[in-house]
Amino acid sequence: MLYTGKGDDGTTKDFVSKPGERKSKASCQTEALGALDEFNSFLGLVKVKSAGIDWQVGGKTPPEIIHWLQNCLFIVQAEVAGADKHLDAGKVAELEKYTDEIEEMLPPIKTFFISGGTELAALFDIARTLARKAERRVVAGSVRDEFKAMNETLAFLNRLSSLLYALARLTNHKGGIKEEPPRY
């Protein structure tokens, strides 16, 4: 069954809820889970749109990197929901490895750039903003003690937007698109 009706009163439960215990769907925890789900779902679209890319980073194509990110986000979602699941430092290191490798392929950053260029680069930029929103929601819930996000999780979420920004830049670079700085 796809619905239970139990949340019709605006409440939900998590992995650590006691029998009969419910919490508001307006809680920081529920907001964080929603932002993570929104971001993960959008990454699914980016993965589909990047299916024809043949270049690699760290031995993986963009769809493979995105799929790996999605699996990591499911671990983060489980952690936020109270399950005994956590990212390890190796996931943060792998994320940094991809970002560092991409950075070596690109000209240095001297300014902000206007999003766009190719459709895929624009999608990576939207994913970057969704990653930052999810990060803010997880941090808010963690600092308000609604749940405890591990240091590795916070580091992973912080680095994630950098990888997506790097992927957007690389996608434009590979597509022959010149980055355009804003005119203030």
Please report which confidence band the pLDDT of residue 19 belongs to, taking 50, 70 and 90 as the band edges: confident
Rounded average pLDDT over 26-48: 95
Kindly report, residue by residue over 80-117, the tens digit of the pLDDT: 999 999 999 999 999 999 999 999 999 888 888 888 89
Please name the residue that has the structure tokens 């907001």.
Answer: 31
CATH architecture group of domain 28-50+57-174: Up-down Bundle (1.20)
Amino acid making up residue 147: F
- Phi first, then psi, for residue 81 (nearest 5°) are -80, -5
Look up residue 57 and give its DSSP letter: B
Please name the residue that has the structure tokens 């979602």.
Answer: 77
Reported pTM? 0.91
74 CB-contact burial (10 Å; exposed 0-12 / middle 13-18 / buried 19+):
middle
What are the domain boundaries of the chain? 28-50+57-174
